[in-house]
Structure 1
Amino acid sequence: MANVEECRSAIDRVSDRINRLDEAQRRAHIVERTVSLTVSDLRTVFTMRLTPQGLVDAAEHPLGSGDGRAQVRITVASDDLVALADDRMDFAKALLTGRIKVKASLGDMARLRKLL
């Protein structure tokens, strides 16, 4: 099981990956959204905003105190989050097998698929 700092580092790596994309591609596929990332085995929620500049304003909260009104809500185990950030796990496969759960509008899901 990964710890909270390893999860925070994984979020930073995903943000860096977003920033390495061509600016035109980021602007085409990223619409600013609020995001909550529940790390189920750590009982921790990270709240942040997805922007063309990456994931910004990340904050950590105990489970139950995070923002349940986020436009994109993701639930994942800590080890799976780290594996996704390190490209050791395929996002689509993880989604289809239930290792990651995403609650978002269909439009947001389509944009996330193109981005990841």
Structure 2
Amino acid sequence: MATKEECRTALDDLSTKLAENADSLRGKVDLDRRLACDITDLDISFHGQLTGGRLTGLEDGDDPDAKIRLIVASDDLVALVAGELDFGKAFASGRVKIKANLFDLLKLKALL
């Protein structure tokens, strides 16, 4: 099981990766939503803002008003961000769950 610090580092890495791709996605992905990430096996959450293809303002704790919610185990989060776990396969098998409306899911697909 990954630690809280490893999960935070993985989310920071994800933020960096999204920022690196944001310029190429500008105009293609119009998404401005609050996002929460629930780490199921650690019983912790993080939250931030997805804006213009970037994840900003990442903080500890839940955001009950988040429009997008990622639900994942700690090891799977770390593996996803490291590129060791395929997002599509993890999503299809239920290892990663996303609660969002259909239009936001389609936009998220372009980011990931």
Q: Same fold (TM over 0.5)?
A: yes
Are 2:86 and 1:80 aligned?
no
Aligned length: 112
| RMSD (Å) for aligned C-alpha atoms | 1.4
The whole-number CA distance in structure 2 between the counterparts of 1:98 and 1:92 is: 10
1:25 offset after TM fit, Å? Answer: 1.1
1:83 offset after TM fit, Å? Answer: 0.3
Could you tell me which residue of structure 1 aligns to residue 48 of structure 2?
Answer: 48
1:71 offset after TM fit, Å? Answer: 0.5
Could you tell me which residue of structure 1 aligns to residue 88 of structure 2?
Answer: 92
The whole-number CA distance in structure 2 between the counterparts of 1:3 and 1:60 is: 14
* Residue segments in structure 2 that go unaligned for 5+ positions in a row: none
TM-score with structure 1 setting the length: 0.89
Are 2:96 and 1:104 aligned?
no
1:24 offset after TM fit, Å? Answer: 4.2
> Structure 1 residues 26, 81: CA separation in 2 closer, same or farther (over 3 Å shift)?
farther
1:52 offset after TM fit, Å? Answer: 2.3
* Residue segments in structure 1 that go unaligned for 5+ positions in a row: none
Are 2:6 and 1:10 aligned?
no
Could you tell me which residue of structure 1 aligns to residue 67 of structure 2?
Answer: 71
Q: Amino acid of the residue matched to residue 105 of structure 1?
A: N
The whole-number CA distance in structure 1 between the counterparts of 2:16 and 2:56 is: 11
1:30 offset after TM fit, Å? Answer: 4.2
C-alpha offsets along residues 25-77 of structure 1, whole Å, 9 cap, x if unaligned? Answer: 1442141110010001111010111122621111112xxxx222210011100
**What's the secondary structure of 2:65's corresponding residue?**
coil
The whole-number CA distance in structure 1 between the counterparts of 2:78 and 2:32 is: 23
1:22 offset after TM fit, Å? Answer: 5.2
- Report if the CA contact (8 A) 1:35-1:50 is conserved: yes
